[in-house]
Every structure is written in structure tokens, then in C-alpha cells.
Structure 1
């Protein structure tokens, strides 16, 4: 495999290694990406190329008349570079079927599967594609015209395509391929538009004229990041495909799937189509994120985003190579050049929108279950948590609270005290979150259910092809589905939430079942036979059909058909919900959504779905959390202790220790399973859970997000595959226990000094794995050298904690320096940064002096004091410590930890602490 990894960089260089972007290379064709195995064939190809003749070009006739490719050409294509010519997963490919497309057929011994086997049918090196006929300069880049060489084997293939290239910034490139004559559906996502061409791009772009292809290089290294000449471009009305080789095997992203954080390129197919299904490997899950991050040799990184909302597949193979395959829309790519992984993600988020600041209480510990039979039962759980002094910021209710599972209602007998419960939560500084499903009950007597009656009157539901309300079946029974692409729906949604808020003053919303989920396939009447419900090609979706457990793809919405909008449903509902909460409460909205799409972080967080109470599911949550931080949805977590199945005390303790470091931390479990809230366990387990939740509370003020180790150590290739540890921000390393029956854990420490968070004891690592004690009441946390962490004395809620004094932890680097900062606001107001309603401080240690510098201050911070400074890594015992020039008591331990207490310094005023 390694010999092929470097082939992308072995392309012949143009006379000027950094040729101008508008130059057209003379055809670096598919076969130049293959192998030196067949040197003679390669020399023959080069000779033909130089004569300007396309090698072995067949007549320009439809694919089913292309004829048979010579066997020697087929066998000469190395297996890792065989791009699938017959991807229909439900078809057993025969030699006749394959050769009718003009492709190579080599049958393998094992049965051909649809997900992880090498293709039997693959493109020959000279398969005809598009030709680049013209290329002209524009203000932002270039526009070109592509012409199809032969008719494709999918219906309604498009003869003439338009290529547009915009050099938007020095690190961002925008490439779009679409029909040159007729407009096509494009994702209605608000993205920034460039106003001028990049002046000094760190990339160069070259073109292959025939067959058409793109070669994107990084100027600094010359590495080829994209090379689409390795397989043909196909562009039919309902089948679009483009492939590229990759410069390395270190590929991440492409969600939502249950997988290791580092993808396997061993012939795997990732399907993207929002689906209601408990998380399992290999299948399409709740959300769609067609974005990948790739680490290159040497530690540089780049990312690629395909802005397309249709059903799609991404095929990975060991060349290494990747194929995008979608069934609608356009090929609209944004490429981000970093050059480091943090910068790639920042550049991606600049396009899709930066995530919103959540309310402070949203970062605390949340408790829920499906199975609270009454509001009083819910209330008793809250009181038990208080009795044991276990931190809790929010109490939730699942669908139990509803009357007949209908939105915007509560059961009048079993949940009669729900308003009083919410009032009590508010008195204790706690918050209430309830579930809301999009499907609206449609089987009520006329005039008895305002949400449906009014929605029907306003025409805000998704319709059938005949223009009638599409009826499916969800929890309430027969249901209609709001069309959130219709602006009128947002107003209707707001009015419904406002009416219910007057009865039960909820603080946040949990929007579930919004793929949208449907217990029927399509509708209660099925789906019509047509191009949307039965397209020429169906990606390998769970259930085998686009309508499996959702609405008909042909259903009509305001903006387009559901075929185009399905993957956007959760995003559109989240946007309407966040807007409604802002108007109702006038504070930062708290929304947790199951289905997601790029830009969703602007409106909601996400939980990883209906997991199980298994050790493996606890592990899978870490790659899930890391991926959604890539996707711009940092407010993410898994159901702590598992949703379905009965947990154990050991598993729940370990999961609570890990879950305390999910940005969104919620314990939630299933209807008929044993209660698993912390108060339900033995005193030993309760104490262990309480301690770790208090530790979590102490770190909330850092506003950090989970990130993989290689984001901070891109030069350390060992970190590229680590997904059993993660960082909070750049400075706190979390190493959880993920196996039963153990009292130790092994973690990797990148090169440098790391300090035990609890004791300050240091580890000077050369880049090594270390075994650490991990008793049941302990999770290993380590602070990276050079960091300063502002922590806070914990309390029962985030609001209580926010008034407590700060403890600052400075972890000195090997040159005895450290740095950190703190953003502080009231934790709930809107646009505090824009309005200047915040404080921002910078902390620094150099030459035995700790300084706090206030760069911006508001009245909120005047109430906060700094009580303690702890400095890790002070090599020599100080003889004297002064605070703002005045001598102050201190303590010093043999493990080189200096502590200065009882400071009572105002956070809003700068100060300095010196030790000698």
C-alpha cells in the first residue's frame, strides 16, 4: 500500500513547478496514476499522447456499445486503483453487464458485497469522459466549458457542463461543476461570497484537458492534494460522480457514521442519507456531513467540503483514493488549505458559520429518561439529586409528558404538576428541557387540536405529488410533517411553542425524530412510482429505498422536492426552533437535535442517538464527539451510561467520568430499563460520580471543546489514529477507562511535560505510552505544559458555580513560562461579544512572575474574585512570594507545586504575583 501512497506526488511537473492556475496541462491521464509495474504500456501511452492522439479511444457511442476492453489493459490496473464502474449494490454484476458499460471485468473468488470488497467491474485507463473545451478569466478566477465525449450509461446525462473556479482566499478554493444550459437545484445554505481574488494563494491549480481533470497542489511542498484524472467524471441528471487520489491515508470526517475516528480506506463505502436508526457500524445514521479532513505527510492538513444535500456515497479505497457519488444537485466543492488542522476547521467554519455560544447551564450535567411515569416521579428524581448534593443543571422529559404523544400538550392527570416542577427548578437555579417531535397528529376531531388545524389552514405541511397533505405515522398515530423550508412554518412553529411556554415555561428544546422519521415507508399510502422515489441509482441506504422509514422523496416542499431537501430537514427545524426560543425567552437558545447538516452548530447541539449500555458504545462516543467538533457542532455528547439496556455500576461510573467531559453531558435511558441516574446507585458510586461532575463544573469557564490529539501535535504521526483519548481545548488531556474490570489505563503522551491535574506531579514524555493507576473513583486528567487554566470552586449548578472564587492553575513549560486566557460573560445573554458585555483577560507567566491583564471588562466580572494560584513545575522552592508587591503566605510541595491562597483579588483588575 505504501508504494501507492506516493503516486499522487509522482506526476510529471510542468516546466514551472508552480505554473499559473490558468494553465492547461496536456492530459496527465488516468494511467499515469497507476504503477511502474507496466513500464512498457506506460511508454506506449506517452508516445501516443505526444502525438496528440487519445490512446485506444473508442467510438463516441452510448456506453452499452463501447465494446470490450483488451484483457491486458484491465489486468494491468493495480487493484488499489480500480474505480468501481458498476456500483449498484443490489445487483450481482456479470461480465456482460460490466462490458456493456465499456469497463473491465475481473471476477473475484469471494462474493461481491456493497461495502467492503474490491470491485469486479472497473474503469479502464482510457474510459471516455468530458473534455475541457475553453477556459476564460473572471474577476475571481476562471470559468470553463466541458463537453461530454460519449453518452453516459445513466439516463439524462448532461452534454455540456460549466466549470467555475474562484480563488476566494489564500487558503480557500471554490470549484463548482454544473449544467451549462439549465439551472439545477443547489443547497439553499447561506455561505460567504468572495469579493476579490486571492492575491497570494498557498496552492496552485492545474487542468487536464482530455480527459478533463483537476490537479491541486500545495505550493510549499508540491504535494498533490486533489487529482481527479484517475477516474472519469460522470454528470447525469440523477447520477454525479468524481474521484480523486489522496496524498495520504489519514482521513477523517464524512459523517454521520459509527466508525473509528481515522477512517479505513480498505474498500469502504460511507452512505449519507439522514435515517432514524440506533447507531450501528456501516449504515447511514441521523445526520449528513460531506466534509473530510486529511493529514498530509509532514503534518500539514487540508479539508474538502461538498455542498450537496442529495443522497450520496463516499467510496474509500487503498490507492489511497476517494470517490464522491451523489444523485442530484451540483458538484460544489470548497477546499481548505490550512495548513494545520486547526486552521482547516476554522476555514471550514467560516464557510458554514461558526457555532453559537450556548448558555452556560447548557454545559452542565443534564438528566433525563424515557419512562418518568408522572411529573411527580420526575420531581422526586430531582429532589434525590439535590439530597445527595450531586450537581445538576437541567431536568428533561421525554414523550411521556405529552397527552397522546401530541406536541404542545401535557398529560392532565399524570403530569398535572409539571408547571410546578418547572417553577421549582427555576427557584433552584435549574432549567427544564422537553422533547418535541416534528410530526403533528392529524387524526383528531376537527377543532380539537390547534397545531394541526391551524397548520392545515395555513398550508404549512409537506404535500404529496397530488398536492394533498402527506400523512405518515409516528408516535401520535397518523401525522403530518411541517415543511420547514416554508417561512410560514417558522411563524406557526413559534406560535405553538409560545402558547405552550405560557403553560410550561421550558428553557430549552430537544428536537427528535427529525430526519424526518416515519414509522411507514413514505406515507400510509406508499409512494408513487417515479424518478424521485425510484431513481436510476440508489446509494446503499439502510432499507434499500430513499423512503425507508421517512417520507416519500417525491413529496413537495416550498423550496423543492423532498428528494433534494431530506437531509436538510433537521437543520431547517433547528433554525426555526432556535429563532422561536430567542423570541420567547430573549436569551441564548438551547436546542439539541438528532438530525444535523453543515451549519447546524449555529442553531443547535447534537446527541449521538439511541446508543446501548455497552462498553463498546462508550468507546464509540469518543470518535462521535471528535467528529462533530470537526463538523462545527461542538455542543455534542452521547447518552451517558447508555440509552437502551441495563447498565452496571462499574460501566455507569466509568461513563459518567468520561461523560463529564462531553461538551453536552446528559444521562438518559430507556423506558423499561432500570433507573441509572446518579442518585439511584450505591453511596460509593454516587460519590465517585459526584466528584467527577464537580470536576467538570470547575472547568466550565474555559469554554473549551473536545479535539483530537493530532490537532495540537500534527508532527507526531502516532497521534493520528488515537481515539481513546482526547483534549479539551489545547491543554487538558482526558484518558478514560473504556474496559471492564481494570484498575489501570494506558495513555499516550506526546512529547513534552504533562502534569497530573489533581496533584501537579509531572511526566516528561519523549512521546510514549504510559500505564497509569485508574481506580473506580478516578479519571486520569493531565495538563499540558505552558497552559494556564482558570477553574472555579464547584457548586450544585452552573449559576451557583459562576459566583464562586476562581482557582488559577499554571503549568509551567520547560522554560518556566505559561499562557492562558478567559472570556467571561453572564452566561445567557445574546450577542455579549458584539455588545461589549463581557470581560476578557490574558494570563502569563515569565521569569517567576504571574500576571493577569484585563483587555476588556464589564460590570459582571467585578463580582468575581481570584482566591488561589497553583503553579505546577516550580523547580526551586521559593523563599518569598509577593502579590502586587506585598508579601503573601504560600506553600510548596516536593513535587514542585507552589500554591498561593487567600488572594481575594478582583477579576476585573490586573494583578501580578512574583516568587523568588
Structure 2
């Protein structure tokens, strides 16, 4: 018997329709989840009508008589049939599309609320006409019997389903008769069908729909029968119910880490704009992670680079809308969030291993008036012995803001400054924009002359070079979809590097940004620049502050490639740096797209010197961890506006734990590098940077794991505690890896902070007293750390202005070093091992070590990798490699009673014991020529590290 079902429980909708052709083996037919009949439907309908009538009486709105099928759809499950902006949706307009029209009270704050125009349960969609088995899955034919309301709808679609792995499903829907643009992204190809998938897949035939379940729990992850599939040439839409409201990703946007499901639309179209809520920002990442009830997780990636929006609604439900390409979905089944992100990166590619120096502290500003002024800042940092690895310059260094030029007056000494940086083990990074000045006399500016000669710039529809305007004035835009442009870019960089030997590159304005809308002549009429549907982009136009969508590029039109522009430039830039230096490249890009982590890191754009901006940086960096771009951070202390000493001190504490740590601000504002503040603030900033530098071996190892298998570096708490529902909404704290908890102060005028302490024992990173309250800290040798209280829940921690709360998770072993003022100096110091014993007297940790700069050291075996594993019976470590490291100090926390002696390779050694901590000095290589290193504390535990040299 058919019955009405809630849309959030589509699993109950499975049935065989009377008279239908049998479905393929193993795949039943599904009715749409609002189909129903009998007394239950009548009762539901009567109830819905009664509630609706009472609502209209209460608000006093006269309404026409509505079809019962429209009243059957609850408000939270109304999928928008008229999503156009800047249109007053009337009943006539709505019903012209065959949809239901019910007015609803407007939401507060001007946001979009319940759609007035929504799909009825019987709205025409595609029918699945055939479904056949293939070597990897299935191929099907979808047919639409009635025309859609967008032009050039496609009558027949091809459905390809591939069971690629046990945890990855690939579903692609495209035109059955004609080729369409697809994203030129290298993705893995399955060689055989998954043998034991942890998911099951079913289809509805008429109307067509997909229903995906997790086998272990029966949880329905996707159910696309909730609204019709629409596939027109420039409007593609598919909707699904969701199993929970805990959804993350879908960038780049500013806001909390956990997205609101309250009629929230997220637009993906790369745009140059200072970060603000509710608008599309610099990058496009059509990927979401969703946490299910019970702690399981899955992810969905739509491989599509066209302008797009994703509409979230309270059902919970989601609608994808894009205006080109194909619907190419990858679904990742986890089942835990870490595994989902690893599986996602198996498709888009694992991030590159950064050079070791990239993890140091970077300093920049727009407004250094000369190379001498830049040099003064560097010298001041050295004078105060504040750690710094890289000095940057913004566009100030250029002659007329033109790429690959140097202001010969104000920055004449820049080559000498770079030489000085190198002598001190430091590095130099400069900015480049993709807009190339086009107004120079012929023969006077090689980058433009040569690019024009080779045809390497974006063109108009008439085949002329498209001219926009950026910092140097009128400009042409490099076409990085053309392989020949990569060679021209390399040649430009080689020419400039011969004069100024830079170490890394900062590629900015690469959405691409344009001070004009489209070009100096505007954009031509047509459906590329004025498509039938425009997503909710800032400026209400695809060409707002960028180039025309109709611009011609080598690979396609800009309409298709816009969101890929930053990725393509990053790829060209990383390749050029590798050829120039023969080492790992360092590139930071503003615009990003999936797979960007293979070529660059990212900074979160032109933020403000405000407390809320500091908070928003945390969900920003955590979102990019989900996107496979672990080298990420915000402008510390804020870019625009004037910071305060308190704000900058707190932000330096937080920023010291961004994976990418750079202090940067704008021109015409006071300087905000650490040297310009009071002695107390300067000391606090210096101390937290020294703490970061002491943890560089740990951080570097996290990046190795990200590069090798797609782990996150900075991660949300729910990644480690997915069954703890409290963690699902936390975005004012974060973890480095699985074991270091960062709890910054994000509010002014306070000397304490409340943070969540998950279950288990946590050790305060600084204090040497086992009975100290959380947050009551001093700053001794970074190789020391005591035990803290094992309380869980929200805890108020002491946080004076000179203190950042850090806690080590029980069971962790952290490799650290005594910090120097550069990463190069730090690397010369012996390692310190912090062993944080669990309640079961166990701990685990690892260390990856190489020369910090060579290409492919892991692949070539030129590294050391040591795993430390402590148990109550003993502790062992295994290692291999060619880079020898020395363990200088070992600190073991959680030793409950003073040991009578400590043995090193069977020989008794001196040690110290304070507040449940044993500390001893070793000065032994690991791995070294000796076959083993053993430390024992009878009768509690024994630690033994074994290893070999040579890879």
C-alpha cells in the first residue's frame, strides 16, 4: 500500500509500480517521496488545509483556491521553482511554469525565506528509459517528455554510474547526443568495479531519481526525487534531501564553519571583493562534507566550473544550480570525516609538500615606500630577535605597477636586500598580477609585446585583445589555459629572477580582477554575458569587476573557464619556480579551485582589522583544509583599517598557528609588524612565534601526511570527535593534527577564554605543575609540558594578554626543537620529544625529516621517517631514511610516581622529575648507526627507538 512519507525518510518510498517494466537486477523502482494515497493522505491533506486556512486568517491575506497537491508540500520542503533575483514573483509568473504559488511572510534581515513559487509533487521531469550494466557500473538513458521553462532544454540525457571504489561513487549526467564542455581536470580512472561498496544505489524510473544509502546504517544520503531534474543548455538543476543539517564546505564564503540551512544560498563565482558575509568570494569549491547521525560522514563533489549556486533549506535539502557544463558528481562515503577528505583528494590530487621555510613567519605590507624601508623592518626584526623566515613586497616595488619591472629609484637596492636575506637564512617573496600593462610604446615592454606577438592574451568575440584595467592602467590578461602562455610566463620570471633572485611568488588579482566591468568597451550582447539565468553573484552580472564571460581563451570561453583562472595561473607559476630553482615551489594564490593544493597555498584575502575578522579566519582556514589546500592563513592583524595593540597581540597569537602565517596590511595605515608595539606586546608576539618555531618538526610532519595521504593539518574538533555532537558547531578553536588544541582569545578586553575540552586527558603545553588550573600558564623551555585536568566540556581558561592556550591530547608524541629566529637555524638544533601518556600508559607519534627543499624526497627515499609507539610494556620506534636527526631531550608526562632510576640503552642516566613529568637529556642520533635507542623507567615503561639510515 502506498503511503505519504516525510521527505527526510525516503527509504520508506521503495515500491514496484503496477504495470511497470521490471527494473534491472538489484535495482528496485522508487516512487517520489511525496506520492501517497488512501486515508492517510486524506488526513494529512485535511490537516494541511486546516493549518493553511488558519494561517491565512491570522495574517489577513486573501488567497485564491489552491490545488490540494500544493498544500501537501510542507514549507521546509518547498523547492524553489522561480529562483531568479530582482524579480517580483507573482502567481501568474509562477503558474506559467506549472508551479505552486503560496505567499509566505518575508524573513527578517532581508534574506530569502520560504519560496512562494515551488514545485508540485507531479512536476514533469525526466524518465529513466533504459539502464544497462557496464564493466564499472551502469549506463542509462533519460528522456524528457515535456519542455522545460528554460531555453534549449535537452531532451535526452546519458547517465553514467561507476562504482569506482568501495567508498567512492561516480555519477555523471550529460547530453546523450552532443558533446558539452567539461572541466579539464585530471581525475583517476577506475580500472575495475568496486567489489564490496559500503553504499547501495537505487533509482526511480518515472520520474527519474537517485537514492543512495549507507549499507551499515541504512541512512539515506541522497534522494533526488524531491524535485525535478532540469537540464537545459544554460541551466542545470538537481535537488536532494539530506540526512542532517550539519553541512560544511561549498566555498569560498565568509561565515561560520557550519552552514545555516535556513534558506541559505551560496554562490560560486570567483570575485575580487573584501570578504563579507553572503557574497561569493575569490574561489569556487563545489564540495561539501556532511556529518550524519551517529558520527558517520560523507562528501559530495560536483566537478563543474561554471557559475553556480547551492541553495540550502531546512528540510534539510540542497539544490545545485549551474549554468553550463555537465552534472559530474563524486560521492565519498568515509565513513569518518578524515577519510572523506582523503577520498576527495584521491580525486583532485594531494597537496604539494611545501618547503620547510614556508612554515616560518612571513612579513609584508602594501606601503613599504622603498627597499630601504623594507630593509629597516627586517633589521628591526633581527634586532629584537623575533623569528622571521620571509620578507615580502607588494606592488610598491614595481615600475608603474607593471609586472616584471623594478622601480629603479625607490627599490634600487632590492637585489642587495634579497642577497642579505639569503645570507641570514631568510627568503624573499614578491607579488605578481595577471594583468599585463598594454599602453607602453612599442618595443618598450617585453612582457606585453611578446605576449601579443604570440597571441597569449584573452580575446574579445571579435578576436581582438580584450583590454581591462588594473593597477598599471589598461591591461591585457594572460591566457593560462594556453600551454604557450606557461612558457612565456617562465621566460618573464627567468628574466626578472636574474636581477632580483626571489624565492617565492604571491599571485594576486587572479579571479581575474578588473576595475572595469568586462572590458573598456563593455561586453557584447549575447547569452554568454547575459545568460537566461544568472546565479546570485555579487554585482548581478558575470562580468562585474572581471572580464567578459564571452572572452575567448585557448581551452574554451571564459564563461566556462572563469573559476579556473587562478588554478591555471598557479599551475604555470609553480612549474616556472621548479624550473628556475630546481626546488619545491612556494606560491600563494588568492583565487582557487579544486586541486589547487597541488600547486599553491592560499590566503583569505583583504580582511579588516576587526575582532570579527579574526574570528572568521578560523572557519576560513578550516574550510580550506576540507578543500585540500592545507597551506592557508589570513592576514594577521588585518589588512584594511588600523589595528590596535590588543587586537594585533591576540591575532599574532592565533596567526602563529595558521598553517601559513603572514602579517600583512595596507598602505596609508600604521605599521603592524611586531617591532612597532610596546615592549610587553612585542615580547608576547615574539614568544608565540618562538612557540610556533619549536613546533615546526611537528607541523612539517603534518604537511607530509597531507601530501602523502590527504590528511588535514588544521582541522575542526569534530574530525577527531565525530560522535560528540557539541563539536559539530565549534569554530572558535581548532586542532593541529589530532593532538594539539588551540584555543585563542577572540574578544576584546578579556583575560580569560571559554573553550571546549573534549573527553580524555589534556596536557597544558606550557606549565610545569601537574595541579595547575587550565590556562594558568608560564612560558618555560618549549620541550617541557605538564599534565592538566582531565575535565571535559566548556572550560574557562586563564588568558592574560601574553598567553595563548595550547593543550596536548593524551596519547600523543610531539617532535619539537629549540627554536631559532629562522627555520634554518631551528633545524640545526636537536629534537625534543614530548610524550603525553594516556591513562593506559600509551602514546604514539611520528616524525618526517628531509632537507626541507628538494623535490620528491619521499619518492626518492631521501628522508628519515620515525614512528614512536609507547605501550605499558614498552615503547618502540621504527624509522628509515637518509636525513639524520638528533634527539636532545625527552619529556614524558603522566608518570604518576617518581622513578628510582632511568636507563639509556641499559645504562643509568640522570633525570629530573616534577609534577608527573620525567625529563632527561639524550643527545643521540635517530635513526643512527646504532641499531637501537632505549630508554626505560622501571617498572613503568621502556622506550626503544630503532631505525636505519639509507632509505
For the criterion TM > 0.5, the same-fold answer is yes
Question: Do structure 1's residue 913 and structure 2's residue 897 form an aligned pair?
Answer: no
1:525 aligns with 2:509: no
Query: 1:907 Cα shift?
Result: 4.5
Q: Which residue of 1 aligns with 2:916?
A: 896
> Residue 869 of structure 2 aligns to a residue in which SS?
strand
Q: Does 1:404 align with 2:412?
A: no
Give the corresponding residue for 2:304: 308
* 2:183 maps to 1:183: no
Question: Which of 313, 333, 338 is the equivalent residue of 2:334?
Answer: 338
- Taking a change above 3 Å as real, the CA distance of residues 833 and 97 of structure 1, as seen in their structure-2 partners, is same
Secondary structure of 2:34 counterpart: helix
**Distance (whole Å) between structure 2 residues aligned to residue 906 and residue 818 of structure 1:** 18
Among 147, 150, 156, the residue aligned to 1:160: 156
What do residues 777-821 of structure 1 show as CA deviations (whole Å, max 9, x unaligned)? 110000001000000010011111011011100000110010111
Task: Report the counterpart of residue 364 of structure 2 in structure 1.
Answer: 368
Gap change, CA 1:814 and 1:116, over 3 Å in 2: farther
Q: Is the 8 A contact 1:848 1:915 kept in 2?
A: no
Instruction: Spell out the pairing of 1:30-179 with structure 2 (5 A cutoff).
Output: 30-32=33-35, 38=41, 40=43, 70-110=66-106, 115-179=111-175
Distance (whole Å) between structure 1 residues aligned to residue 815 and residue 935 of structure 2: 15
Q: Give the deviation of 1:168 after TM superposition.
A: 0.3
Residue 847 of structure 1 is matched in structure 2 by 872
Q: Distance in 2 between matches of 1:478 and 1:209?
A: 55
Query: 1:544-578: CA deviations, max 9, x gaps?
Result: 10000000000000110000000000000000000
Is the partner of 2:761 in helix, strand or coil? Answer: strand
For 2:76, what is the secondary structure of its paired residue? helix
SS at match of 1:523: coil
Secondary structure (helix, strand or coil) at the match of 1:173 reads: strand
CA distance in 2: counterparts of 1:79 and 1:837, whole angstroms: 61
Deviates more, 1:129-138 or 1:695-704: 695-704
The 5-angstrom pairing of residues 263-282 of structure 1 reads 263-282=259-278
Alignment coverage as a number of residue pairs:
883
Q: Deviations over 1:588-633 (max 9, x none)?
A: 0000000000000000000000000000000000000000010000
1:22–1:801: structure 2 CA closer, same or farther, 3 Å change rule?
Answer: farther
The CA distance in 1 between the partners of 2:492 and 2:557, in whole Å, is: 26
Please tell me whether residue 511 in structure 1 is matched to residue 507 in structure 2.
yes
The whole-number CA distance in structure 2 between the counterparts of 1:742 and 1:834 is 49
- Cα deviation digits, residues 839-887 of structure 1 (max 9, x gap): 0101122226444332x120x31xx321111111111211110011110
- Aligned equivalents of 2:404 and 2:858: distance in 1? 34
Q: Which stretch shows the higher mean deviation, 725-734 or 115-124?
A: 115-124
Kindly indicate whether residue 852 of structure 2 is the aligned counterpart of residue 827 of structure 1.
yes
Residue in 2 aligned with 1:605?
A: 601
Partner of 2:754: 746
Do structure 1's residue 857 and structure 2's residue 881 form an aligned pair?
yes
Q: Is the 8 A contact 2:15 2:29 kept in 1?
A: no
Distance 1:383 1:13 in 2: 75
Structure 1 residues 551 and 34, CA, compared in 2 at 3 Å: closer, same or farther?
A: farther
Counterpart Cα distance in 2 of 1:806 and 1:679? 29
Which residue does 2:890 correspond to in 1? 869
In 2: Cα distance, 1:416 partner to 1:873 partner: 58
Equivalence for 2:640: 644
In structure 1, distance between residues paired with 2:865 and 2:16: 50
Note the alpha carbon deviations across 1:408-430, whole angstroms, 9 max, x for none.
00100000000000000000000
Change (3 A) 1:467 1:653: same
Equivalent position to 1:225, from 211, 221, 225: 221
Which digits, 9 at most, give the CA deviation of each residue in 1:314-346, with x for residues without a partner?
000000000000000000000000011000000
Pair 492,222 (structure 1): closer, same or farther in 2 beyond 3 Å: same
1:741: Cα distance to partner? 0.6
Contact 2:45–2:71 (Cα < 8 Å) also in 1: no
Is 2:360–2:823's contact at 8 Å kept on the other side of the alignment? yes
Kept in 1: contact 2:7–2:226 (CA 8 A): no
For the residue of structure 1 that corresponds to 2:147, the secondary structure is: coil
CA distance in 2, matches of 1:270, 1:109: 22
SS in structure 2 opposite 1:164?
strand
Distance 1:466 1:215, change over 3 A: same
For structure 1, the 5+ residue unaligned runs are: 44-67
Aligned to 1:29: 32
Structure 2 segments unaligned to the other structure (5+ residues): 47-63, 703-712, 768-784, 939-951
Establish whether residue 882 from structure 1 lines up as the match of residue 885 from structure 2. no
Structural mapping, 1:295-694, within 5 Å: 295-694=291-690
User: Structure 1 residues 644 and 176 mapped into 2: Cα distance closer, same or farther (>3 Å)?
Assistant: same
State the SS of the aligned residue for 1:541.
Answer: coil
Other structure's SS at 2:378 match: helix
C-alpha distance in structure 1 between counterparts of 2:40 and 2:325, whole Å = 39
Superposition deviation, residue 72 in structure 1:
2.2
Tell me how far apart the structure 1 counterparts of residues 164 and 25 of structure 2 sit (CA, whole Å): 15
Cα gap change, 1:184 to 1:375, in 2 (>3 Å): same
1:365 to partner: Cα distance: 0.2
Would the aligned equivalents of 2:14 and 2:30 in 1 still touch at CA under 8 Å? Answer: no
- Is the 8 Å Cα contact of residues 23 and 207 (structure 1) preserved in structure 2? no
Report the 3-state secondary structure (helix = DSSP H, G, I; strand = E; otherwise coil) of the residue aligned with 1:544.
coil
Counterparts of 2:373 and 2:252, CA distance in 1: 35
Separation of aligned partners in 2, 1:91 and 1:784: 54
CA distance in 1 between partners of 2:754 and 2:603 (Å) = 28
In structure 2, what is the Cα distance between the partners aligned to 1:556 and 1:33? 51
Q: How does 1:700-849 map to 2 (within 5 A)?
A: 700-702=696-698, 703=700, 704=702, 705-759=713-767, 760-765=785-790, 767-847=792-872, 849=874
Q: TM-score, normalised by structure 2?
A: 0.91
Deviation at residue 215 of structure 1 after TM alignment: 0.2
- Tell me which residue corresponds to 1:61: none
Judge which range, 905-914 or 588-597, deviates more.
905-914
1:285 pairs with one of 259, 269, 281: 281
- Is the 8 Å Cα contact of residues 436 and 511 (structure 1) preserved in structure 2? yes
2:8 touches 2:242 (CA, 8 Å); kept in 1?
A: no
Instruction: State how far apart, in whole Å, the 2-side matches of 1:392 and 1:33 are.
Output: 67
When residues 33 and 651 of structure 1 are mapped into structure 2, their CA distance, relative to the original with a 3 A threshold, is: farther
Structure 1 residues 898 and 13: CA distance shift in structure 2, 3 A: farther
Match of 1:50 in 2: none
Measure, in 1, the Cα distance between the counterparts of 2:881 and 2:107.
Answer: 67
